Amino acid sequence: MLKTDHGLAHGAAHRVSLLARQRADVGVAAPPDPADALYAGAKAGLRPLHDALLGEIRALGAFDIASKKGYLSLRRRKQFAMVQPSTTSRIDLGLILPATTPATGRLESAARFNPLFTHRVRIAVATDLDDELRGWLATAYTLAG
């Protein structure tokens, strides 16, 4: 129509079409955050801690988030972690670490938590997001390649 009715050249008609479509997309809502459903209701108070944890993980590089029933799966080529609001006062972080990584202190075995993961860390306060946790996250992230 732009070419035949208004005499525009092909390139100019194409540019007008692109601009019109971009303007139409401005009103389109962003896709919902998959964490919104996990932190509704009684667990809403954990959302700032979740956001801080995801900020630490995003600092490692690119990864995909898949929403599962009750948790978020974090993957690169393979899954490396999961984030789950476990109670109203804690987030559980499941990690896939080498089998030789000992489960001691905060780094617990995940065998009875979720068998897809090797280890679990319970995160209750922002100070739990320390260098030790960053090291475990970096290892899991790197191995997922």
pLDDT digits (tens, 9 = 90+) for 91-118: 999 999 998 999 999 999 999 999 999 9
pLDDT in tens, 64-97: 999 998 999 999 999 999 999 988 899 999 999 9
Helix 131-143 vs helix 47-58: angle between axes, to the nearest 10 degrees?
A: 60
Distances (CA, A) of 139 to 4, 26, 75, 132, 136: 60, 40, 13, 11, 5
Asked whether the predicted pLDDT for residue 129 surpasses 70, the reply is: yes
Per-domain boundaries in the chain: 1-30, 41-143
Query: What does the mean pLDDT of the chain come to?
Result: 89
**What is the structure's pLDDT at 10?**
78
